[in-house]
Amino acid sequence: MRDHVVESAHLIAELEEIRARNAELEARLAAQAVTEREVSEQLQQRTAELAIVNSVQQALAEQLDMQAIVDVVGD
């Protein structure tokens, strides 16, 4: 009977250790999810900024007088 009590105590201790590791893993995964969400938001912001820069650049390029550039730079 005493062996069963000792074995049960060991099993309970192992179970508590597993639960603690599980909680730690869940906390790390939650932190990682937050980081991934922040990176994704930053990427979306940067993409929007680059789209604006691209459209401004395209509008400026359309206004260039290519012949005047060739005349200044040469052939």
pLDDT per residue as tens digits for the range 11-68: 999 999 999 999 999 999 999 999 999 999 999 999 999 999 999 999 988 888 877 8
| Neighbour-count burial for 44-54, b at 16+ CB within 10 Å, e otherwise | eeeeeeeeeee
| Rounded Cα–Cα distance for residues 40 and 34 (Å) | 10
Q: Which segments of 2-64 does DSSP mark as H helices, in order? A: 2-63
The helix or strand, by DSSP H or E, that contains position 73, with its residue range, turns out to be: helix 66-73
